[in-house]
A and B are shown apart, each in its own frame.
Chain A
Amino acid sequence: MKDKRVAAAISGVPWWLVLIVGLGVIALATALADESYRVIFGAVARGFGVTMTVAVVSYAASLVLGLGLGLARSSGFRPLREVSTFYIELVRGLPMLVILYYIAFVGAPALAGILNGLLAPLISAGVFKAFSSRSFDFATRAVLALTLGYGAFIAEIFRAGIESVDRGQVEAAYALGLSHSQTMVRVVLPQAIRNVLPALANEFVAIIKDSALVSVLGVQDITQIGKVYAASTFKFFETYNVVAFFYLCLTISLSMLVRALERRLKRESSQ
């Protein structure tokens, strides 16, 4: 009887988490004890702000873009639906790295050209200096690329959320005289967003990991600083341990928060 309970308790333990937390503690302890790890920690930590800024700004912007695209995708107006679907399918079919190169080396010059065209009178009047691709630093281009890419993923999440709301909710709103947009804002979206909250939060974890791609543009994030440090000191093992440590602290703690959120939503909707 008691054995069974012990067995149940043991099998209920998330061993993967125990292992990871254990390794984390060992890593931290070693680092604090070891002079060279301390230095690497200090160096890589300087990229933490950049990594977080890139992730948070791109995520916030792709939520806005994704919501717009998701609404367009489930709109009753065909041209809007076709255009948004075209964009979403195109972007989702490309590797994130290719999007990044595209925006950095094709998109930025094009954007400069467009802005110069649009603002030509102001520029010739001397209000602005003419734009060149150098007007956009690589961090900005990286954020733009992540936003355009993740906007497409997030649009699909919003669309799934909108479709998950029972058709009867919409009909009831219409039958009460609510307009299309009132129905969307007051009835459909609150339920849709609640249904996809965990999926949206998971995209934040994903964007933190994909933010490492910006290192290919030389943006000084955790990965880039680690890469440069490792190459100059040949301490590859130690450096990438530290880099991995930073990412894992972020992603695992966030994933656990997402799970807690999921459980809470489930509990709320079942009472």
Chain B
Amino acid sequence: MSAFIRIRDAVKTFSTRGRGGALGLDTVLALDGVTLDVERGEVVLIIGPSGSGKSTLLRSVNRLESLDSGEIWIGDDSVTARRADLRRIREDAGMVFQSFNLFAHMTILDNVSLAPRLVRKVPAAQAREAAVAILERVGLLDKLDRYPRQLSGGQQQRAAIARALAMNPKALLFDEPTSALDPEMIKEVLDVMTGLAEDGMTMMVVSHEMGFARAAADRVVFMDRGRIVEQGKPEELFSDPKEERTRDFIRHIL
């Protein structure tokens, strides 16, 4: 059986207004031929220096970015086909952002029940009930009627995870979920993520949290300059990296 998420030769360039080029355009090669498989239930941790293409890779999987070339599949659904079913793809793969991005004008409960109602046409009462159950699971039962700004960063990120879970995704994409958090709040978010990993959720996680890597990651992928430099089991990659660049980077974050 083939892998659940399959990324083949993904290439993505961005144009930015800069000094270079005839039209004043600079191009950045964000993904330079990335090939990666993620098995069902696997937790893949992606590490690498800033600007190495980690976010772009994740955002290509749910097609917040469109590749220049290459292919991505989630199960039987093509992400990169020109007429890909975006709704289907985004139901398959939920996303959690560094800056939470909870809907600021809605209560936590509405944040979590909105997409099931609008996208999956779940009746309001049923969506509400499901949302309450999910919020209980992430420990926010007492915050249902609060607005995002009334919550701590850690609580907001847990609510954002609940919002993604409410769509019953088959995979979750985390882009630096704890980078915007105060140190004392990191653990509560990582605990929720570890719980999901134990329950068999397929996850791609961009993070440099070593604790999470050791506790939950099945594999660590090191990216640099738009390419995968090296990958392996966490203990192997962290203690015995093969490549010079990986070694430098790991010395940096440990």
Contact = CB atoms under 8 A, between A and B. Distances in A.
Interface in B85-129: 86-87, 90-91, 94-95, 97, 99, 101-105, 114-115, 118-119
A166 B101 contact: yes
Contacts of B90: 174-177
Interface stretch (A14-22, A104-112, A186-194, A236-244): A186-194
A271 interface: yes
A253 interface: no
Query: For A169, A177, A194, which residue has the most chain B Cβ atoms within 10 angstroms?
Result: A177
B151 interface: no
B64 to A, nearest CB: 6
A176 B97 contact: no
B152 interface: no
A194 B102 contact: no
B149 interface: yes
Interface string B54-76: 00000000101000000000000
Interface in A245-271: 269, 271
B104 A176 contact: no
B105 A177 contact: no
B27 interface: no
A187 B111 CA distance: 10
Given A177-B91, A271-B150, A172 B102 contact: yes
B103 A175 contact: no
B64 A187 contact: no
A178 B101 contact: no
A169 B101 CA distance: 5
A190 B118 contact: no
Contacts of A166: 101, 104
A269 B149 contact: yes
B119 A178 contact: yes
Nearest to B149: A269
A186 B117 CA distance: 12
B221 interface: no
B119 A176 contact: yes
Contacts of B104: 166, 169, 191
A185 to B, nearest CB: 10
Q: Interface residue tally of chain A, by bracket?
A: 20 to 34
A168 interface: yes
A179 B99 CA distance: 22
B167 interface: yes
Contacts of A171: 64, 97, 101
Interface in B16-63: 62
Given A168-B97, A176-B163, A177-B167, A194 B118 contact: no
A163 to B, nearest CB: 15
Contact of B86 (A173, A177, A182, A194): A177
A175 B119 contact: no
Contact of A177 (B87, B97, B103, B160): B87
A194 B105 contact: yes
A176 B164 contact: yes
A169 B103 contact: yes
Contacts of A178: 114-115, 118-119
Interface in A144-178: 166, 168-169, 171-178
Contact of B115 (A169, A176, A194, A269): A176
Nearest to B96: A175
A179 B119 CA distance: 8
A178 B103 CA distance: 13
Given A171-B64, A187-B103, 10 more contacts: A168-B97, A169-B101, A172-B97, A172-B101, A173-B103, A175-B64, A177-B91, A178-B119, A190-B105, A271-B150
Interface of A: 166, 168-169, 171-179, 182, 186-187, 190-191, 194, 269, 271
9 contacts: A168-B97, A169-B101, A172-B95, A172-B160, A174-B90, A175-B62, A176-B90, A177-B119, A186-B118
- Which 10 pairs between the two chains have the least Cβ-Cβ distance? A172-B101, A176-B115, A168-B101, A177-B90, A175-B95, A177-B119, A177-B87, A190-B105, A191-B105, A182-B118
